[in-house]
């Protein structure tokens, strides 16, 4: 397939805006990492009108996709983990064009996984974990066991990704294979949830008890990034927190995380008077 695609990537390589080009070829008959295409060409550009453009090609019985993405979008994916396939692409791709060793330096940074980048990713995963866990618990207490189960499975995935990131690795598509080596206790908990012959109510009941401990044990590391940012000022409004450039990626999970940390006495709420008697603004500060 590479021979067929060569004219396409050679044309892109001749453009000064192109930083690097990666080729990912299908390794198995059914390959979700390549969206079931035979090959993916990933073209990284400095800037573009659209952050992502995709084109599909076919040749005889084979098919390929061309993904053109900006450097900013790539780094956003790497930070937020919103496109998990990108990690597998970076791991397994063949570099077919590299301007001024851009790809080489990017892959070095990717594999080193700088500590600051890990802190942000752990914070985002922890916020998602808390949201899913608390939503699941609310469904469970209301007797909505199927909805509770759905949220608990997602919360365990976030807990698994948090464990992988904490160990200095990027979570991959096969995150549970990673967790099996890194955190056998968490892997066993997930295995029991999906394979146990207990009733769903009983499975969930036991799971919430175990999850409470696992979440508690990771609260300090999961909240570390948020708390380090909030220490920069004495008090914050929710609006200031949500607009902060380091915290903006926490998105809709931020309010729930703040409430959780307030319950754990890691954050204190500070009442500030408004013009209306008895009504107070709610400010936040690190304890």
Q: In the prediction, which pLDDT does 3 show? A: 84
- 132, 264: one domain: yes
Distance separating the N- and C-terminal Cα atoms of the chain:
59
SS percent in the chain: helix, strand, coil, step 5: 60, 20, 25
What's the domain range around 62? 2-111
The verdict on 72 and 105 lying in the same domain is yes
Q: Which residues pair with 63 in a beta bridge?
A: 58
Same domain? 134 vs 251: yes
Predicted local distance difference test score (pLDDT) of residue 110: 80
Confidence (pLDDT) at 133: 95
Residue with tokens 């940074």: 109
Please tell me whether residues 10 and 61 are part of one structural domain. yes
3-state SS, residue 200: helix
Identify the pLDDT of residue 264. Answer: 95
Q: How many domains are there within the chain?
A: 2
The pLDDT tens digits of the residues spanning 221-260 come to 999 999 999 999 999 999 999 999 999 989 889 999 999 9
Which of 52, 80, 111 is where one domain is finished? 111
- Helix 184-195 and helix 175-182, axial crossing angle in degrees, nearest 10: 130
- Look at residues 58, 82, 111 and tell me which one is the last residue of a structural domain: 111
Token look-up 């390589």 returns 13
Looking at the structure, tell me whether residues 136 and 48 fall in a common domain.
Answer: no
Q: Looking at the structure, tell me whether residues 188 and 235 fall in a common domain.
A: yes
The pLDDT, as a whole number, for residue 228 is 96
> Which domain CATH number covers 269?
1.20.120.330
**What pTM does this model have?**
0.82
Helices (H) and strands (E) counted in the chain, each on its own, are: 11, 7
Residue ranges in the chain whose pLDDT is less than 50: none
What is the reported pLDDT for 265?
A: 95
What is the structure's pLDDT at 173?
Answer: 66
How would you list the strands of the sheet with 39-45, edge to edge?
52-59, 62-70, 39-45, 18-25, 94-98
Which CATH number goes with the domain that contains 47?
Answer: 3.30.460.10
């Amino acid at each position: 397939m590479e021979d067929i695609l060569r004219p396409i990537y050679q044309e892109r390589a001749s453009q000064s805006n192109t930083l690097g080009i990666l080729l990912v070829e299908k390794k198995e008959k059914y390959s979700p990492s390549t969206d079931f295409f035979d090959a993916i060409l990933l073209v990284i550009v400095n800037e573009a009108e659209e952050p992502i453009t995709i084109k599909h090609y076919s040749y005889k019985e084979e098919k390929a996709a061309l993904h053109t993405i900006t450097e900013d979008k790539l780094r956003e994916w790497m930070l937020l983990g919103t496109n998990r396939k990108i990690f597998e692409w970076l791991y397994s791709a063949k570099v077919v064009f590299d301007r001024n060793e851009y790809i080489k330096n990017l892959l070095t940074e990717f594999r080193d996984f700088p500590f600051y980048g890990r802190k942000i990713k752990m914070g985002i995963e922890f916020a998602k974990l808390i949201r899913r866990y608390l939503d699941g618990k609310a469904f469970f207490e209301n007797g909505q066991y199927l909805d509770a189960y759905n949220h608990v499975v997602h919360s365990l995935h976030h807990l698994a990704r948090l464990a992988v990131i904490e160990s200095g690795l990027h979570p991959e598509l096969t995150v549970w294979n990673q967790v099996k080596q890194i955190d056998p206790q968490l892997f066993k908990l997930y295995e029991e949830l999906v394979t146990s012959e207990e009733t769903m109510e009983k499975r969930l009941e036991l799971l919430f008890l175990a999850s409470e401990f696992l979440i508690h044990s990771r609260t300090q590391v999961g909240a570390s990034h948020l708390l380090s940012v909030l220490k920069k000022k004495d008090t914050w409004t929710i609006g200031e927190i949500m607009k902060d450039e380091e915290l903006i990626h926490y998105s809709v999970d931020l309010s729930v995380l703040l409430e959780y940390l307030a319950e754990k006495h890691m954050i204190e709420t500070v009442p500030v008077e408004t013009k209306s008697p008895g009504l107070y603004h709610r400010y936040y500060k690190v304890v």
